[in-house]
Amino acid sequence: MSSRRTRFVLGVFVAVFALSTTAQLFAFHQWGCYKWAWTPGSSTSLDLGYAFGQMVSGRDYLGAYLRSRSVWNTAPPINVFQVSSGNKLTWYAKNYGVNGWLGLAQIWVNGCTIVKGTSKLNNTYLRSGFYSQTAIDHVACQEVGHTFGLDHNHNETNTCMNDGILTAGAQINQHDRDQILAMYP
């Protein structure tokens, strides 16, 4: 192989390696192009609704959502109460049956703009003694993150956006804050 061709192949390898390393360091975890309508400096409110089904002693679902709200409020410029007027985010905790999911986020979109969102906790699973309050907080935090347009973050273990663990509780990390800032400049 000629020295010129060797340099070219080596250069391509280095470029591909650098790009893959950068992608791992700066993992992008937005859920497609979806986000709420946002005007920088906006002080309008996101209408929050609550719908809780049968509650189980020792399971604090409302507290889980309130802790999630508090955590996401540390991700400027997002404020759970300040996204876009006329939009609605509803939190649910009910018995949804044995269906394979602990939590579920749903969004309704117009193009790439989220116009409505729901965050659901499946009491059928979470009421069992198997899941701690930390796990419930983790699921609630993650589903709220999805309603802002974030996808899972499998590269980090210190965030509720990692769906492979349930140990972070209502906690986000700097990467989540940076992702929110990139989505809502």
Q: What percent of the chain has pLDDT over 70?
A: 66
Strand 88-94 to strand 35-36: parallel, antiparallel, or no bridges (unpaired)? Answer: unpaired
Can you tell me the mean pLDDT for 130-136? 92
Q: What is the pLDDT of residue 7?
A: 37
> Which has more confidence, 184 or 111?
111
* Stretch 109-131: mean pLDDT: 86
Q: Between 87 and 128, whose confidence is greater? A: 128
Residue 144, CA distances (Å) to 5, 48, 102, 176, 183 in order: 51, 11, 13, 12, 15
How many other C-beta atoms can be found within 10 angstroms of the C-beta atom of residue 87? 18
Indicate the residue type of 87. N
pTM of the model: 0.76
**pLDDT confidence of 21, banded at 50, 70, 90?**
very low
C-alpha separations of 178 from 77, 89, 174, 181 in Å = 10, 22, 6, 5
Q: Is it the case that residue 13 has pLDDT exceeding 70?
A: no
pLDDT of residue 114: 86
pLDDT at 102: 93
Q: 37-41, 55-59, 123-127, 181-185 — which is least confidently predicted?
A: 55-59
Q: Residue 173's pLDDT band (boundaries 50, 70, 90)?
A: very high
Task: Identify the pLDDT of residue 129.
Answer: 78
pLDDT of residue 53: 52
Residues 6+ apart with CB under 8 A from 63: none
| pLDDT recorded at residue 50 | 54
Q: Are strands 47-52 and 88-94 parallel, antiparallel or unpaired?
A: parallel
